[in-house]
Structure 1
């Protein structure tokens, strides 16, 4: 990865595109009717998106195409790893939460890491839609976008899947756990 631009070297791009194509072909139920050649064409003209997908991949997210926004003509990649991505766990919710901790601070926060990666935390709706494609977060949980009213009061929300049901919970935004990370979405 070059230091100034968020672009991959040619070899890195080819390797990542092969990983994404293989995942795409193995999981057709996630994106019936989509064509890999169309998705690749969008990635070819948006190298910064490929950089973000690589960040998702190397942190354990296993990104895959799960939707298409017809209005904006964009494919939507989401982390499809079975559990919350390993490289993005043990983070509190946001910078304010991180700065509020006096002792035992986590390494980072979900909102800032997502922003640095060029992705967005999933909304509750996106999280529930993902769960229609499989069983995700059966042992872990994932921070999701928290409504401003909840965040203003010091809270943040997260989701997981237990007992074949998707649950939405709350916690103090400054909390962090080894089994809680975050999933991201990227529009291409």
Structure 2
């Protein structure tokens, strides 16, 4: 997909494309929230975007689900999905690019033991919304260095993100406050 309004901030996520990582859940919660869609675009780096390239049954199911969501919610123009990168330096550039757009990073897993992407995104000054199940809940202080989201309540997660973007629109220092809070937390 392409992004038709590039002036909007971006919701960014990067993970393996399997059920527990819940990337399709994030796309669906975005798709269903009109306020969030009005305020931001979504950019995903995950797995393959072509079923023919995957040999993993679970990943194939997630790829198909992603294509179904794109069609069902007419996400063209607001959603960009790129195949996974293995180049860590390139990932760092991506985080910084999203930060330049005043975007956010979202880690929506049903469970995450540690959450390297959470640490990476916070290190790049990207306000981070991460699962409250597992390691990221220890890393992030809710409302100070990022936000906890519950993947089992995607509607609440979408509202929290929409509210954050709305606050940032009204008061740009709000984005800086959470960005700085995340950086401080990482360097503690």
TM-score w.r.t. the length of structure 2 is 0.31
TM-score by length of 1: 0.31
Larger strand proportion, structure 1 or 2? 1
**Higher share in helix:** 2
Compare CA radii of gyration and give the structure with the larger one: 1
